[in-house]
Amino acid sequence: MHSDIPFSTDRLDGLLDDFGIDVLIVTSKHNIQYLLGGYYHFQFDYMEAIGISRYLPVFVYVKGAQDKSAYIANRNERDSVQNRISAGYWMPPVVYGSSTSVEAMTLAIQHVKSVATSRLQVGAEMSFLPADAADLVRRELPHCQFVEAMRPLEKLRSIKTIAELEILREASERVVASMMDAVGRIHTGHSKREIIAHLRQAELSRDMTFEYALVTMGTSLNRAPSDQRLEPGDIISLDSGGNYRGYIGDLCRMAIHGAPDGELVDLLGEIDLIQQAARASIRAGLTGRDIYAAANEALPRSPHGKQMHFVAHGMGIVSHEAPRLTASGPIPYPADDANAPLEAGMVISIETTLPHARRGFIKLEDTIAVTPDGYQAFGDGARGWNRIPS
């Protein structure tokens, strides 16, 4: 293995063996970033559409022969790639010349034909492969069979390196700090749109990319941006995803204009008890079902347990990535990892929500990294009622 390759080729080769894949044709933004150690052409950070088609980067990986890898780049990407190489980062051989999805896949197929046999199991990310590019692969590689590559790539990403964990720690800390920055700037009369604008600017000022904010105010359970305005005594939930160096910090914290009364203190305390019960059990070797068992054991002891919603899911480059621990959460997917032992380096989001009809939307969401004998919590501050200035 090349010492600078930013992923384990042995682990990837083993996963490809497990799923019967000979050659990977990677086309998703998140997996391109992961396999190239954080690289993605800056011109298409915001949108892939251009001209009559779209930007389609392609990473070709041949199992057991990483020296035969190639990156298919846009014709305007040379400066971006050169900067990456000049900074000392690994890049596979680069093939330039694409400006459409068909041109990109044509170059990728030419490379596959030059380095591999004609009968292959080709791993592709079906949700991220344009129809015109997929048709081209089927036509040009007629003896090859498509295999869904989402799962082995997801499993590859699920165990984070020390460097990745540090980025996720920073992402989480910066999101929470941004929330507290926004809370300090909020005043009565501000709309949800204005509050989100404060949060966006706070994340941008911390070298993050603002992805989203789900915000509730007062007794409303509506989390979308709107012109609803803060009234005296209102509570606010801030649930934001901020991206730092390609990794997502996704946490939820609560704020209030004025002082929380005893009932609000108790309600947030109930939520925290569920959070702590789920967190306390986490360690390498535990299963996802064990996390849910700990939370489900605590919920009946809460006066509002029947109204609460608990979910645990993987975090990293993608929200709700592996380990996938439930099939009944807000994002539908199979619970493929619910019975598998957690491994050190996995990162899990733990969240408990109470949509209270009279008091409003109350929630905590924490980011937990699995360690050999327990866990580390990232961005674990400000978990109480944070005061909005009067």
Residue 210 above 60 pLDDT? yes
Cα 351 to Cα 361: distance, rounded to the nearest angstrom: 13
- pLDDT level of residue 1 (50, 70, 90 thresholds): very low
Mean pLDDT of all residues in 187-203: 97
Domain-wise residue ranges, the chain: 9-157, 162-388
The pLDDT value recorded for residue 2 is: 52
**230 within 8 A of 257, measured Cβ to Cβ:** yes
Q: Percent of the chain having pLDDT more than 70? A: 99
- pLDDT level of residue 3 (50, 70, 90 thresholds): low
Angle made by CA atoms 152, 155, 156, in degrees to the nearest 5: 85
Cα 368 to Cα 348: distance, rounded to the nearest angstrom: 5
The hierarchical CATH code for the domain 162-388 is: 3.90.230.10
Residue 17 has φ and ψ, to the nearest 5°, of -60, -45
Cα 270 to Cα 259: distance, rounded to the nearest angstrom: 18
Query: Which two three-digit tokens encode residue 174?
Result: 């910066």
**312 within 8 A of 288, measured Cβ to Cβ:** yes
Q: How would CATH label the architecture of 9-157?
A: 3-Layer(aba) Sandwich (3.40)
Summarised one tens digit per residue, pLDDT across range 65-123 is 999 999 999 999 999 999 999 999 999 999 999 999 999 999 999 999 998 876 789 99
Summarised one tens digit per residue, pLDDT across range 16-35 is 999 999 999 999 999 999 99
The pTM for the full model equals 0.95
